[in-house]
Amino acid sequence: MDYMSLWLFAAVFVFLLSGYPVAFVLSGTALLFAGLGYSLGVFDSAFLEALPNRLFGIMLNKTLIAVPLFVFMGIMLERSRIAENLLETMALLFGSLRGGIGISVMLVGTLLAASTGIVGATVVTMGLLSLPTMLKRGYDPRIATGTICASGTLGQIIPPSIILILLGDVLSSAYQQAQLDMGIFSPETLSVSDLFIGAILPGLLLVSLYIIYLLATAALKPMAMPAIPAQERTQTGRELKHQVIKQLLPPLALIVVVLGSIIGGIATPTEASAVGAIGAILLAMSRKQLNLQIMREVMQGTTRVSSMVFMILIGASIFALVFRGFGGDDLIRELLHDLPGGTFGALFIVMLVMFLLGFVLDFIEITFVVIPIVGPVLLAMGIDPVWLGILIAINLQTSFLTPPFGFALFYLRGVAPDYIKTSDIYRGVMPFVAIQILALMMIAQWPAIATWLPRLLG
pLDDT digits (tens, 9 = 90+) for 187-199: 788 888 889 999 9
> Cβ contacts of residue 70 below 8 Å, gap of 6+?
116, 117, 160, 162, 165, 273, 276, 277
Per-domain boundaries in the chain? 33-457
- The answer on pLDDT for 257 being more than 80 is yes
State the pLDDT at residue 313: 82
Average model confidence (pLDDT) across the chain: 83
Q: Using CB atoms within 10 A of its CB, is residue 338 exposed (0-12), middle (13-18) or buried (19+)? A: exposed
Q: How confident is the model at residue 301 (pLDDT cuts 50, 70, 90)?
A: confident
Q: Using CB atoms within 10 A of its CB, is residue 291 exposed (0-12), middle (13-18) or buried (19+)? A: exposed
136-145: pLDDT as tens digits: 888 889 999 9
Q: How far lies 350's CA from each of 4, 7, 72, 335, 374, in Å?
A: 20, 18, 33, 11, 8
| pTM for this predicted structure | 0.81
Asked if 263 and 122 count as a contact pair (C-beta separation under 8 A), the reply is no
**CA-to-CA distance for 99 and 127, rounded, in angstroms?**
17
Q: How confident is the model at residue 405 (pLDDT cuts 50, 70, 90)?
A: low
Range list of β-strands (E), 214-287: none
Mean pLDDT of 214-235: 79
Q: What's the DSSP call for residue 3?
A: T
Mean pLDDT of 411-416: 79
Asked if 82 and 285 count as a contact pair (C-beta separation under 8 A), the reply is no
62-117: pLDDT as tens digits: 878 888 888 888 788 777 777 777 777 777 777 677 888 888 888 888 887 777 66
